[in-house]
Amino acid sequence: MKPIVIASANGHQFRNGGPDTCVERAFRLMTEGADVLDAIVEGVTIVELDPGETSVGLGSLPNADGVLELDACCMHGSRRRAGGVAALQGVATAAAVARRVLLDTPHHLLAGDGALQFARRCGFETRDLMTPNSRAIWHEWKRRLDARLGDRVADAPSEERMRMGYAVSLEMSLERLIDANHLWGTISCSAVGPRGDICGVTTTSGLAFKLPGRIGDSPILGAGLYARHDVGAAGSTGRGESNLYSLSSFAVVHAMRRGMSPKDACMAALREIRDATVDPELLNTKGRPAFNVKLYALNAAGECAGAALYGGDAVQYAVCTENGGELRTCEALIDEGHEFVD
């Protein structure tokens, strides 16, 4: 078995001042004998602790109230175990906490204050996760939203606030004040180890400026992540609600179990998302989804693929093999290079 690690593009873009990216660290550790899940959690920790990555862990973009709430999930194929945390505050390394849920409890998911207290009992330190940069971005977003709401700031309905808030987020992304890839955030990382063990992990700060308490797809088994020991693994980034509705990661693994290649399985799941998007507020002027979703999959044979609703040269995923780490271009379901906000 030739080992392989795949991840979203930020898995080979951030080093937090060290020598390795996420995929490089994970590949090195598991080929040196570390458990595959331990290796990929160590890998994503690099990204979680890098304040330059505003969609994961330290310095990522908060909810609408300016509070960071993190979600994460991990799965160990051969152990048939999973662990996750949701709405976790104060601990940047949410993936490592999710791993402790997998190892130390009979549960799959802890949320809110319960997840925080569990993390503290496990020895994780808590801190303010906001940085001057993330706080400044949130203040600018809130200033623009309040200006749009005017004298209705205090009593505007939640639905209207969310709709206007998302419009402000898109506006700021078009102005390059926010990386468009960071509106939904997330790093997903999966691997096949030297002995064939298959594991996956996903960690995120979720949708930027989300409704407080909102949980996305990342900590939910089958939505943001799924791994099966004899088949493969899949993870996702992008609009979490679409992955939740379609259980995209489970759908990809199930399709691979039926014999599909990772690429074909990802494309089939993306077509399901496209066809299920009928809400006018989620469609662009061409009647297509006004958001992006990216899927990353590998099978037990070590074949892998990355695919997205909307592609282009900048829409990439990360891979590391014995030949080292690299970024590859995602396959696109809809017009390669097409901007989903058009």
**For residue 153, pLDDT beyond 90:** no
pLDDT of 324 > 90? The answer is yes
Token pair, residue 77, equals 């194929």
Strands 81-88 and 109-111: parallel
- Which residues are known catalytic residues? 186
pLDDT band at 158 (very low <50, low <70, confident <90, very high): confident
User: What's residue 325's pLDDT?
Assistant: 98
Strands 198-204 and 187-192: antiparallel
53 alpha-carbon distance from chain centroid: 12
3 and 320 in contact (C-beta within 8 Å)? Answer: no
Count of other CB atoms within 10 angstroms of residue 170: 17
Tens of pLDDT, residues 11-41: 999 999 999 999 999 999 999 999 999 999 9
The predicted model gives 198-210 an average pLDDT of 96
Output the pLDDT for position 339: 64
| Chain segment 206-258, per-residue pLDDT in tens | 999 999 999 999 999 999 999 999 999 999 999 999 999 999 999 999 999 99
- Report the side by side order of strands in the sheet with 293-299: 225-228, 232-238, 293-299, 304-310, 331-334
Nearest to 74 by CA among 98, 43, 39, 100: 98
CA 195 to chain centre: 26
pLDDT value at residue 239: 94
The residue-averaged pLDDT of 89-114 equals 98
- Report, as an integer, the average pLDDT of 316-323: 97
Q: pLDDT higher for 248 or 311?
A: 248
Residue bearing the bigger pLDDT, 153 or 265: 265
Per-residue model confidence (pLDDT) at position 337 = 57
Residue 338 has pLDDT above 60, yes or no: no
Q: Please answer whether residues 273 and 240 qualify as being in contact, where contact means their C-beta atoms are separated by less than 8 angstroms.
A: no
Q: For residue 152, is pLDDT > 90?
A: no
Q: 141 — phi, psi (to 5°)?
A: -60, -45
| Res. 295: pLDDT tops 90 | yes
- Which whole number is the average pLDDT over 247-274? 98
Alpha helices in 64-205 (DSSP H): 94-104, 112-121, 132-149, 158-174
Confidence band (pLDDT; 50, 70, 90) for 336? low
Give the tens place of pLDDT for each residue, 171-189: 998 898 988 777 887 999 9
**φ/ψ (deg, to 5) at 340:** -70, -20
Q: What pLDDT is recorded for position 340?
A: 66
CA distance 165 to 160: 8
pLDDT above 70 as % of the chain: 98
- Higher-confidence residue: 328 or 342? 328
Which backbone phi and psi does 30 adopt, to 5 degrees?
Answer: -75, -30
Give the pLDDT score at 154.
82
Arithmetic mean of pLDDT over the chain: 95
Cα(253)–Cα(225) distance, rounded to whole angstroms? 10
Return the pLDDT at 341. Answer: 61
What residue ranges do the domains of the chain occupy? Answer: 4-128+181-332, 138-180
Q: How far apart are CA 209 and CA 193, in angstroms?
A: 37
Sheet of 109-111, strands arranged across: 109-111, 81-88, 70-76, 198-204, 187-192, 4-8, 316-321, 324-329
201 pLDDT higher than 80: yes
pLDDT over threshold 80, residue 327: yes
CB 113 within 8 A of CB 259: no
As a whole number, mean pLDDT of residues 105-132 equals 97
State phi, psi for 86 to the nearest 5 degrees.
Answer: -140, 145
pLDDT reported for residue 263: 98
CATH number of 4-128+181-332: 3.60.20.30
